[in-house]
Structure 1
Amino acid sequence: MDKKDNLEELMGDLDISNDKDEELVFDDEIDEVNNKFELCLVGKFLTEKNLNVRAMKSEMVDLWRPARGGNIKMLIMGLFLFQFYYKDDMQWMMNNDPWSFDNAILVTNTIPAGVDPTKVHLNEVELWIQIFDLPSEFISESIGKQLGNLFGSFVMYDQNNNTSIWREYMRIKIKVDVRMPLKRRKKICSKYRKECIVSCKYENLADFCFLCGMLTHTERFCKKKFDGEIDGLVRGWGNWLRAPSRRGRRKGGVSG
């Protein structure tokens, strides 16, 4: 028997059926996940227009003025990575949203460890809203939380808005699902069956569709209009949803 026959015989005795089940287990001292995106946000602008990326970068840097600098990089068309070098800079930017460029609102999210930034969900944006026509006895933080979850998802109640004797509206911060139309008014009822209809206005609201109430496009590009789903082009939304400017506001964000 020559060497070749000997080798084939030895190979025939090997069992490789369990190879695919073998695992490599790292030692405990080795970090399995290192989140290099810890000081990064991924985001997109809700618009059907082509963005002037250079102008956007310049304006965002001018608005945010990060103490230790930052970087903005396009990941894929329309999707951006916002990198900070100081945690407080990133936190300040997140606390003072919403931000916008060319009247297009910016939706951002953090990037969990081990997740591809291009796969992060960008479905919610935080907005301050003002609730009107609310009976004075209903103006409280507990009621605000319930109303916040009615108009979106409650985030924060502005206690400072209650300092004056006359309170024209309640002010709360909510998360808005950008896949849904903006909510305009709701009927509420107390345990004593006292009913009223409250309306809301959105602070620092960028472009949105007056036909379907979506933040993702304007009336000109409304798919429902093209598909004939809206009869007579009835505009159920309008500029009246925008709250008047508040003193002390910065361009692109809110004073809080």
Structure 2
Amino acid sequence: MKSELATTEYIIAANFFTKRALNMDAIAATFQPLWQSKNGFRLKNLGNHIVLFIFENKADVDNILANEPWSYDKNIMVLQRYEADSEIADLSFNLTHFWVQVHGIPVRFMNKEVAEGLCETVGQVCHLHNAPTEDGGSFMRVRVLVDISLPLCRGRVIALDDNREQWVTFRYERLPNLCFWCGCLTHSDKDCDRWIESEGMLAETEKQYGPWIKALPFNGKNRAVVSVLGFYTKRSANSTAEHS
């Protein structure tokens, strides 16, 4: 086919991790106010819980992908930028971005290098200009590309220089439903192999995860950390400005 016959479209392929049948009208109604696309978008159901979102504006696609994760009906929805000449079968719907809050770092170690080093256990740390690692006051906040085919990392032990060990906890912002038995986002508690193999006899105490892994929403407008200039530094800056 000649390339001039192709339309200029920007496409996101989405895999919905839910067992329910997809209602396309409901999906459109859900994401239209969330995404606020400049020129709107079209949807195409490919079956197997895969839907194409088709845009005329590349900026819409960039913005949507930059604001992952997304969920539908409280279940994870994994997105992939899709090139029209690609095969859907070649797409791998196992990676999505999360903001991860790292709790429990000793105050003197609460810095960018330590937080990002710890989050390498979670996934691939993203060094983006528009999504920098930041200090949330009682925690550090890091943007991470997470493999959802694996159990979420709950935390890790750190060794301090006085031979003590301390546990730091990872909590995930905008986290949808997950299996509290094994920590996977791709199925619910009742669909977990552990639950099925036990024939429903697992005790609540055997759950490795709980609601604590879901981080509270982060409000960047209410800054938890404020830097104040030294008295003489500020005075010198004012004097220079007046002189100019």
Q: Which category describes the TM-score, using the shorter chain as reference length? A: 0.7 to 0.9
Identity %: 27
Q: Cα distance 1:209–1:134, how it changes in 2: closer, same or farther (>3 A)? A: same
The aligned residue for residue 171 of structure 2 is: 201
Counterpart residue number, 2:90: 119
Counterpart among 101, 105, 125 of residue 76 in structure 2:
105
Give the structure 1 partner of residue 195 of structure 2. Answer: 225
1:160 Cα deviation (Å)? Answer: 7.4
User: Does the aligned pair in 2 maintain the 1:156–1:172 contact within 8 Å?
Assistant: no
1:131 corresponds to which of 94, 102, 113: 102
CA displacement at 1:115 relative to structure 2:
2.0
The two structures, once aligned, show a CA RMSD in angstroms of 2.9
Report how far residue 216 of structure 1 moved. Answer: 0.7
CA distance in 1, matches of 2:101, 2:216: 10
Residue deviations 1:24-70 (CA, integer Å, cap 9, x gap): xxxxxx97xx9978611111122233333321121112210111221
Q: Which has the higher contact order (CA 8 A, sep 6+)?
A: 1
Q: Which runs of 4+ in 1 moved over 4 A?
A: 34-38, 156-160, 190-194
Matched positions, count:
216
Asked whether the equivalents of residues 148 and 155 of structure 1 are also in contact (C-alpha less than 8 Å), the reply is no
Counterpart secondary structure, 2:18:
coil
Give the C-alpha shift of residue 105 in structure 1: 1.5
Tell me what 2:139 maps to.
169
Give the CA deviation at 1:155.
1.4
Which among 178, 192, 213 is matched to residue 241 of structure 1? 213
Residues 138, 102 of structure 1: CA spacing in aligned structure 2 closer, same or farther, 3 A cutoff?
same
- Aligned with residue 180 of structure 2, among 210, 215, 231: 210
The alpha-carbon distance between structure 1 residues 36 and 120, as it changes in their structure 2 partners (threshold 3 A), is: farther
Amino acid at match of 1:241: I
Could you tell me how far apart the structure 2 residues matched to 1:193 and 1:37 are? 60
Gaps of 5+ in 2: 222-244
Which residue number in structure 2 is paired with residue 141 of structure 1?
112
Partner SS for 2:96: strand
Deviation at 1:246, TM superposition (A): 2.9
Residues 181, 189 of structure 2: 8 Å contact kept: yes
Alpha-carbon distance between aligned partners in 1 of 2:6 and 2:76, rounded to the nearest angstrom: 27
What CA distance in whole angstroms lies between the structure 2 residues aligned with 1:114 and 1:229? Answer: 45
Deviation at 1:174, TM superposition (A): 0.8
Q: 1:231 to 1:181 in 2, by over 3 A?
A: farther
Computing the radius of gyration over CA atoms, which structure comes out larger, 1 or 2?
1
SS at match of 2:54: strand
